[in-house]
Structure 1
Amino acid sequence: MKKPDHIIEIFLQPGEFYFGDRDTRIRTVLGSCVSITAWHPKLLIGGMCHYMLPTRGTAKPAEPDGRYADEAMVLFLREIRAVGTRPAEYQVKLFGGGNMFPGARQNKHCVGQNCLSEENSACRSVSCRNSKIARHLVEINGFTVTAEHLGGDGHRQVFFDIWTGHVWARQNPVTSPMIVIESARIEQD
Structure 2
Amino acid sequence: MDVFLQPGEFFVGGADFRVRTLLGSCVSITLWHPARQIGAMSHFLLARRARASATLDGRYGDDALELMWSGLVAQGVDPRQCVAKVFGGADMFCGLPTSREFHIGRNNGEAARNMLAARGIQVRAEHLFGAGHRQVLFDIKDGDVWVRQVTPTGDAAPEARKRQ
Aligned length: 154
TM normalised by structure 1 equals 0.78
Shift of 1:123: 5.4
Who is 2:124 aligned against?
146
**Cα-Cα RMSD:** 1.3
- Following the alignment from structure 1 to structure 2, what is the Cα–Cα distance between the partners of residues 57 and 81? 27
- Following the alignment from structure 1 to structure 2, what is the Cα–Cα distance between the partners of residues 123 and 138? 21
Who is 1:77 aligned against?
69
Shift of 1:47: 1.0
Which ranges in structure 2 are unaligned for 5 or more consecutive residues? 155-164
Which ranges in structure 1 are unaligned for 5 or more consecutive residues? 1-7, 108-121, 177-189
**8 Å Cα contact 1:17-1:50 kept in structure 2:** yes
2:85 aligned counterpart, secondary structure: strand
Q: 1:89 aligns with which of 78, 81, 94?
A: 81
Which string of whole-angstrom CA distances, capped at 9 and with x for unpartnered residues, describes residues 31-87 of structure 1? 0000000110000000100000011111213x3110000100110111122123222
**8 Å Cα contact 1:15-1:51 kept in structure 2:** yes
**8 Å Cα contact 1:25-1:159 kept in structure 2:** yes
| In the alignment, structure 1 residue 55 sits paired with structure 2 residue 33 | no
Letter in 2 for 1:50: H
| In the alignment, structure 1 residue 175 sits paired with structure 2 residue 153 | yes
Sequence identity (%): 46
Q: 2:138 aligns with which of 150, 153, 160?
A: 160
- Larger radius of gyration between Structure 1 and Structure 2: 1
- Following the alignment from structure 2 to structure 1, what is the Cα–Cα distance between the partners of residues 48 and 93? 22
- Following the alignment from structure 1 to structure 2, what is the Cα–Cα distance between the partners of residues 104 and 52? 20
Letter in 2 for 1:14: P
| In the alignment, structure 1 residue 39 sits paired with structure 2 residue 32 | yes
TM normalised by structure 2 equals 0.89
